[in-house]
Amino acid sequence: MLQRVEIDMNVYEAAIIRTREIINTHDHVFVSFSGGKDSLVALTIVEEVYKQMGLSDKINVIFRDEEIIPDDVVDFVQSKYHSGKYNFGYFCLQLKSEKYILGNKYEYIQWDKNRSHIRPVPEFAITDWTKVYDQYTSGPITTNFIKGRKCIITGIRADESLIRYQGIIAKKNKSHIAASIDPDIWMGRIIYDFSENDIFKYLHDNKVSYCTIYDNQMYNGEAMRVSTPLHAESAKKLYKLKTIYPKFYDQILSIFPDVELQARYYTDFDRYSIMNSYEHSYKGIVDYIRENVDESMQNIALKRVADARKTRINNIRNGNGIYGGYPVLYVFKIIINGSYKRKILPKKDSDVTEVEREYELCTKKPV
C-alpha cells in the first residue's frame, strides 16, 4: 500500500527539481499557457530553470484560444505573444465544447466556421478549418511540427479536484509526468501540489504581474478561473458575468441567446422537484437523461450512471456499505448539475445525508 511520506522540501523547491528533470529527459519542452494564474506560475518557473541551466533558447509556449473568454484574458495572453520572449504558438481551432443550461448540457464548437464568432480570429493565430478536434486530439497538432520526445508542461494543481488528485497520486513513480494518447508526447505537472495560496504567494514574492480578471472575480465573490463561462461549474455563476463584463456577456448572447435562461433562472432552478418527479432509482435517473439531456451528451451521461450502478451493486455484494458509495440521489444530483465529464467518485456511507437516505426509502422498486 502506498503511503504519503514527508520530505524536507517545499512545493516551490520540488517544482524546480521536476522542471530540471523534464528538461533533461525530453528533446523538447512546451508550456501550455491559458492566461491563468496556475499556468503563469508554471511558465515563470520554467523561465527560472532555463536561466539557472544557462539555456538561451526561447521557451515553447502553446495557447489554445477557447473563443468565449473575456477580453482581459485575451489581452494578457496576447501581451505575452507580442513580447517576443517565447516561441509562441497561438491556436484557434474548431474544438468540441459544451454549455450548461438549467440542468442540461449542449454541445457546441469553439471557433465554428459555420457561425459568427464572439470576436475576430487574430491574424497571427494558427488555424485549421478542415477538422473539428476534441480535448484529446488537439494536443498533437500544437507540437507536431517538431519531432522527438516532447513534454507539455501544464498548470494543473491537484487540490482543484478530488478526481484530479487521485489521478495524479495514483502513479507509483513520477507523479509529475503522465503519458498522453500520443506516444511522443508527455504531460508535465510541475506544480501539481501547489495550493491556490502557494500560487499567489509565488506571484507576490516574485513580483509577477497576473491577469486582472482575478481581481475582478475576487471583488465579485467568484471562483478564480479563466475558463469559458459556459462550462457547468462556471455557468452556475453566469449571472455575475453581467456585472463585470457586460459587453462580453452581450457578445455571448448574440451567438448563444439561450444562455440568458441560465443566467436569469439558475438561482431559482428547483432540482429537487425535478428529481422527485422521477422514480427514485437508477432507472429514474436514466429516464431523466433520455428525456432531458441533449443527444450529444446522452451517451456519456448514461455511461457514468451505468458505471456508478455497477460499482454500487458490486460494493454492496462485497459488504462495502449500504449504498456502495453511490446513493441514488447523490448520483442524480451530479447528473442534473452537469458534472459528469469525468467518472463519478464514490461517497462514504458515513457521509450519506438523511435526505439521500429518505429519497431511496420513497420507492419500493429496485435500484
> Would you state the cell numbers that stand for residue 188, as one nine-digit string?
508535465
pLDDT band per the 50, 70, 90 thresholds, residue 311: very high
Residue 279, domain extent: 271-361
Residues 201 and 347 in one domain: no
User: Which residue would you say has higher pLDDT here, 181 or 188?
Assistant: 188
Give the CATH number for residue 69. 3.40.50.620
- Pairs from 166-173 (Cβ < 8 Å, separation ≥ 24): 166/345, 168/192, 169/2, 172/2
Cell of 322: 449500504
Among 205, 227, 251, residue at a domain's last position:
205
In a domain, 114, yes or no: yes
**275 lies in the same domain as 201:** no
Domain boundary among 205, 231, 250: 205
Residue 219 within a domain: no
344-366 pLDDT, tens digit each: 989 888 899 999 999 988 654 55
Residue 108: per-residue pLDDT: 93
Q: Is 289 part of any domain?
A: yes
Residue finishing a domain among 170, 205, 240: 205
DSSP three-state, residue 101: strand
pLDDT (tens digit per residue) in 3-18: 555 667 899 999 999 9
Asked if the structure places residue 122 within a domain, the reply is yes
Q: What is the pLDDT of residues 238-268, one digit of tens each?
A: 888 888 888 999 999 999 999 998 888 888 8
pLDDT attached to residue 165? 53
Q: Kindly calculate the radius of gyration of the chain based on its CA atoms and give it in whole angstroms.
A: 22
213 found inside a domain: no
pLDDT number for residue 113 = 96
Whether residue 332 is found in the same domain as residue 184: no
**Residues 148, 20 within the same domain:** yes
Residues 77 and 193 in one domain: yes
How many domains in the chain?
2
Q: pLDDT tens digit string along 130-159?
A: 999 987 676 667 887 788 899 999 998 876
The mean pLDDT of the chain is 87
List, in order, residues 6 or more apart from 154 with CB less than 8 Å away: 32, 39, 42, 187, 188, 189
Q: Assess if residue 84 is contained within a domain.
A: yes
Q: Are residues 44 and 172 in the same domain?
A: yes
Q: Do 15 and 109 belong to one domain?
A: yes
Backbone angles phi, psi at 64, to 5 degrees: -105, 105
